[in-house]
């Protein structure tokens, strides 16, 4: 969608080719390098999502404990 919108508005492309990994191949990157970089990015996003999930659960636990304290008084 970015590629199409950008091309319609500016007549220039964001990526040289789709799918995205072909863009990097056209820039001269070797396939193992692309795969490894994408793997690193995927792991970082997975860790980010797990950390935010943990933060949400902790906040929920605190709110539940506070509600329990209010009801027991």
- 56 versus 11: which is more confidently predicted? 11
Supply the pLDDT for residue 67: 84
- Contact between 62 and 70 under an 8 Å Cβ cutoff? The reply is no
Please say if the pLDDT value at position 73 is more than 70: no
Question: How many whole angstroms separate alpha carbon 47 and alpha carbon 43?
Answer: 6
Contact partners, residue 26, CB within 8 Å, separation at least 6 = 16, 17
- Contact between 20 and 14 under an 8 Å Cβ cutoff? The reply is no
The DSSP 8-state label assigned to residue 22 in this structure reads H
pLDDT band at residue 62 using 50, 70 and 90 as cut-offs: confident
CA angle 26, 28, 34 (to 5 degrees): 90
Task: Please write the tens of the pLDDT for every residue from 22-61.
Answer: 999 999 999 999 999 999 999 999 999 988 887 777 777 7
pLDDT band at residue 5 using 50, 70 and 90 as cut-offs: very high
């Amino acid at each position: 969608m970015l590629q199409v919108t950008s091309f319609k508005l500016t007549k220039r492309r964001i990526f040289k080719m789709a799918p995205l990994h072909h863009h990097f191949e056209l820039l001269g990157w070797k396939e193992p390098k692309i795969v490894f970089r994408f793997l690193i990015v995927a792991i970082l996003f997975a860790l980010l999502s797990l950390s935010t999930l943990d933060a949400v659960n902790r906040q929920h636990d605190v709110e539940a404990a506070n509600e329990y304290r209010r009801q027991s008084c």
